[in-house]
Amino acid sequence: MNTRYGWNETKRRKNLRKHGLDLRDGWKVLESRYRMEVDSTRDQEPRKQVFAYVYDVLSVLSLVYAPDKDTIQFISLRRASRNEREVYHAWLDSEDAQP
């Protein structure tokens, strides 16, 4: 079974203007070999925040998505903050990041 990705088109355009990144490329974060995933909640809605280094943009990116039974709904894609990058790099150096 193939994973299906989705997004709200208005949010996609807003994300592109605000962060210069297209939600259509969120799969690059999810399919990274070295991704760090964190559970989060917003307005009592379960979400996941995933960090990964994406070679196409030479940056650690943060993808927020809402897991759904049929489709993974991308919510936000942006460059990770300095603090997030530090946590990500520390995670990479730990045993947790070993494939």
Closest CA to 80 of 22, 5, 34, 19: 19
Give the whole-angstrom CA distance, residue 63 versus residue 94.
Answer: 21
Going by pLDDT thresholds of 50, 70 and 90, the confidence category of residue 94 is confident
What pTM, to 2 d.p., does this model score? 0.89
Looking at the predicted structure, is the pLDDT value of residue 29 above 90?
yes
Evaluated on CA atoms 6, 10, 11, 17, the torsion sign reads positive
Ordered by where they begin, the domains of the chain are 5-97 (3.10.450.530)
Going by pLDDT thresholds of 50, 70 and 90, the confidence category of residue 69 is confident
Looking at the predicted structure, is the pLDDT value of residue 6 above 90?
yes
Determine the straight-line distance between the first and last CA of the chain, rounded to whole angstroms. Answer: 23
Residue with the bigger pLDDT between 41 and 37: it is 37
Report pLDDT for 48.
Answer: 94
